[in-house]
Chains A and B, each alone.
Chain A
Amino acid sequence: MYSKDKAADLKSNRVGRKYALPTLIWVLILAVLLLFISLVCLCLGQYSMTMGESIQVLFGKMLHTQVTWKPMMEKVIFYLRLPRIIAAGLVGASLALSGSAYQGIFRNPLVSPDLLGVSSGACVGAALAILMGLNGTWIQQVMAFGTGLLSVGLTLLIPKMLGSTSNIMLVLSGVIVSGLMSSVMGMIKYVADPQSQLQAITFWQMGSFAYVKYDEIGSVLAPMAVGTVILLLISWWIDILSMGETEAKLLGANARPIRNVAILCSSILTASAVCLCGTISWVGLVIPHFARMLVGPNSTKLMPVACLLGAIFMIVVDTCSRNIAGVELPVSILTSLIGAPFYIMLMKRQKGELQ
């Protein structure tokens, strides 16, 4: 008995030292890293330039100094690369944050933000817009966002109609709605014009930042900000929810309303991300794990770190996607290629803890 306790002691001492740096330091390091990586990625591409040149163009333009650079540089930075980097950062942060929230709410580290069907729903909306010849318009964005939230609403409604509100019912209902949405998707693809529309739909399903424009970023900025701020504010309560609904209630938490607000905010974040660049897999699943390794499981610490890590990861992956091959690769192909082995590595580290 006591020797067993001693073994537990030794083990937990080891774990106690695992988080070498305080969270605030991590946030600062990652914020600096994010800026640095953004600048590096601004220079990389078919038209490559030095760090000095890109900084000169970036700040020169903002501060209205005399133009000493080639007009081509300005075009490349402001119309091609900067919007992509901003969009990738926002999407990465949103997906990582909603993934962290979902993993807490559903008490399962293997859950990703599309669990309740938001991504597949948003895809249907976007594909419908393509079918109606509205590809690349604001209507497509609105439709993707709307159908994304609508499918989460449907997922929440099914258990309610059946008179049960347990998390398992909710997850199963998510499976049903996702399945339903992919069959609708199949139908849309079947009737789509293979010459033009089908390719656009496939591109959307795989995710890409290639055609992101400033006004699109502007239109998702507000919902993203609202979702992020609310989730960060209720982060401690998400940890309470991770104790399970009954226990949360016994501790004095209004478990159901808090859970629904957290699901709503996460869904808004994911839907915003999807309508900006299509579906991108793995980020919401893997990044929260990585953040947990750095600062531990407390959502109050985990969430800001996951946001920054997600942004960095997405910017790097997107830069790779436009530089690795001669042609533009869909981002999801790369996130899966990087995410899957990375996830195996994480599972290896945590195999003792996951039963």
Chain B
Amino acid sequence: MIYDVRGLRFAYPGGRTVIKDASFTLDKGEVLTILGPNGAGKSTLFNCLANIRSPSSGTILLNGKPMAEMSVREIAGVIGYVQQSHIPVFDYTVLYFVMMGRAAKIGVFSKPKEEDRRIAMQSLETLHIAHLAEKPYTEISGGERQLVLIARALTQQPQAILLDEPTSHLDFGRSTYILELVQNMSASGYSIIMTTHDPNHAILLGGKAAILDRDGVLHVGYTRELVTEECLRDLYRSELHLIDVPQLHRTACLSAGLRCHCHT
């Protein structure tokens, strides 16, 4: 068991409780897609899982060890984090940027060695972006940047990869490509936790889904059983339909149409 989350609760100091009770487990190679409306605390939950925030109570076990007792180096050895793409201040090359994924394995008075360079290059090749290696990270496209961030997480050689809305800001084709990559990574043994705004992503990926409702309760189950029409309508407060698409042998989530909100 890579992740074992028990009774996680998160409240802002002196503020509202965002997450009341979250418990789930995640095995090697499993995918968990986190769904939830804006402002429900999806990001907060995700940040707790990535060790950016500390939960108010409850425990997160990584390989059976409480995350709160692990060093940042140990955690970085288990979790590779793919954040939403941002542009750093300095124009490091893509390869140099990806090599930063080796930080947890490099001594404090040391620099990346040839071996680290090779591992970073390998991650770029795995994602078919080796040709970007010498380009400045600040000047590649948004889609390429997302791939480079994934390559950096792979360079960490973690057991789990966490992706924070990896498809935001990407066009349709690139979003699908990222989802394919996520599926491939899970097939090669990485556990995946991913947040998304699009229920279709959860349907496409299958595996497990976690839905954080407006009351801060986390519902976890297999996507097939958990992500139902009623559940989605309730979650997004919108008239949604889960429709079987025979040509594709799958269901798709579609909105009913647009209503006019103007009364003139």
Contact = CB atoms under 8 A, between A and B. Distances in A.
A5 interface: yes
Contacts of A136: none
**Interface residues of chain A: helix, strand, loop or mixed (majority):** helix
Given A239-B96, A255-B72, 5 more contacts: A5-B141, A107-B88, A107-B89, A240-B103, A298-B96
Interface string B93-113: 100100011011110111110
A15 B139 CA distance: 9
Nearest to A256: B72
B76 A11 contact: no
Interface of B: 50-52, 71-73, 75-77, 79, 81, 83, 88-93, 96, 100-101, 103-106, 108-112, 134-136, 138-141, 144, 156, 171
Given A1-B171, A8-B139, A107-B89, A250 B50 contact: yes
A252 interface: yes
Interface residues of A, number: 40
Contacts of B106: 236
A298 B92 contact: yes
Nearest to A107: B89
A40 B93 CA distance: 38
Given A240-B103, A353-B138, A251 B76 contact: yes
A32 B168 CA distance: 51
15 contacts: A5-B144, A11-B139, A15-B135, A107-B89, A233-B109, A236-B106, A239-B100, A240-B103, A250-B50, A250-B51, A251-B76, A251-B103, A251-B156, A252-B104, A353-B91
A339 interface: no
A253 B105 CA distance: 10
Contacts of B139: 8, 11-12, 15
B112 A247 contact: no
Nearest to B155: A251
Contact of B103 (A11, A233, A234, A252): A252
Contacts of A11: 139
Contacts of B76: 250-252
B104 A242 contact: no
Nearest to A106: B89
A252 B73 contact: yes
Given A15-B91, A107-B89, A251-B156, A236 B141 contact: no
B102 to A, nearest CB: 9
A16 B106 CA distance: 27
A5 B76 CA distance: 32
Contacts of B104: 251-253
A7 to B, nearest CB: 10
Closest 7 CB pairs of A and B: A252-B104, A252-B76, A297-B90, A12-B135, A251-B103, A236-B111, A233-B109
